């Protein structure tokens, strides 16, 4: 069975010559498509790569619809990663926001059930892996951790150079253990680390796969 291409590989396929199926891409991308049975390398120089019939079928297929996102009761929700200028002060609109966040968290659990193999809800789903900072922030806020405002304590979720990993900071470093524990319960792998240059403590978290 031909494995489905990644998003990057799909872009290479979609950019193929519409008539000949000739491909352009890096050696690694082209080799991966050959391995998946979606392309072949011509035996004669200049050894160009072309789509196989399976590759042509993927190119001609309708694009997959975007994955649904977790929603609150009113259908509109934005996770707070911390540091937003418009973040309310502690206690402002607290009860309404908490209901909204908890509703979005329940929606995310349902999304896990619908999209994870076996319907498991104890580990992150594809939407979370594609929106790491928002997913981690939702797990934290739904558990009652306050996001940071423009200044002051509270969590701040930030992207990292590592694939599938986010960093979580808090000016109150005593709160980091609780943030890590919350993410662990939400299906993430999390641990405390120290930045070698600045000596700032933070939590590094990534979605658990099994």
Q: What is the DSSP string of 93-116?
A: THHHHHHHHHHHHHHHHHHHHHHS
In this prediction, what percent of the chain has a pLDDT beyond 70?
86
In this prediction, what percent of the chain has a pLDDT beyond 90?
42
Residue 172 DSSP code: S
pLDDT averaged over every residue in the chain: 84
**pLDDT one-digit tens code per residue, 113-158:** 998 888 999 999 988 998 999 999 999 999 999 999 887 789 999 9
* CA–CA distances in Å: residue 166 to residues 61, 74, 162, 169, 209: 34, 28, 8, 10, 15
Whether the model clears a pTM of 0.85, i.e. scores above it, the answer is no
Query: Poorest-confidence range of 46-60, 70-84, 141-155?
Result: 70-84
Map residue 181 onto helix, strand or coil: helix
For CA atoms 87, 84, 70, 206, the dihedral sign is: negative
pLDDT of residue 65: 44
User: What confidence tier does 162 reach under pLDDT thresholds 50, 70, 90?
Assistant: confident
pLDDT of residue 8: 77
Identify the H or E element spanning 60: helix 53-60
pLDDT of residue 89: 47
């Amino acid at each position: 069975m031909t494995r489905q291409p990644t998003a990057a590989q799909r872009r290479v396929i979609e950019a193929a010559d519409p008539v000949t199926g000739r491909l352009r891409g890096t050696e690694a991308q082209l080799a991966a498509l050959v391995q998946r049975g979606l392309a072949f390398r011509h035996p004669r120089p200049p050894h160009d790569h072309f789509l196989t019939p399976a590759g042509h079928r993927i190119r001609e297929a309708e694009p997959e619809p975007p994955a649904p996102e977790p929603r609150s009761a009113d259908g509109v929700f934005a996770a707070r990663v911390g540091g937003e200028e418009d973040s309310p002060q502690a206690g402002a609109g607290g009860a309404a926001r908490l209901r909204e966040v908890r509703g979005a968290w329940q929606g995310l659990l349902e999304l896990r059930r619908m999209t994870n193999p076996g319907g498991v809800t104890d580990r992150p789903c594809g939407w979370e892996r594609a929106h790491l900072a928002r997913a981690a922030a939702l797990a934290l806020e739904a558990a009652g951790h306050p996001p940071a405002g423009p200044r002051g304590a509270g969590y701040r979720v930030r992207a990292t150079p590592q694939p599938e990993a986010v960093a979580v900071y808090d000016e109150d470093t005593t709160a980091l253990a609780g943030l890590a524990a919350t993410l662990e319960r939400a299906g993430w792998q999390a641990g405390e680390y120290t930045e070698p240059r600045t000596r700032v403590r933070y939590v590094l978290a990534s979605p658990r796969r099994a």
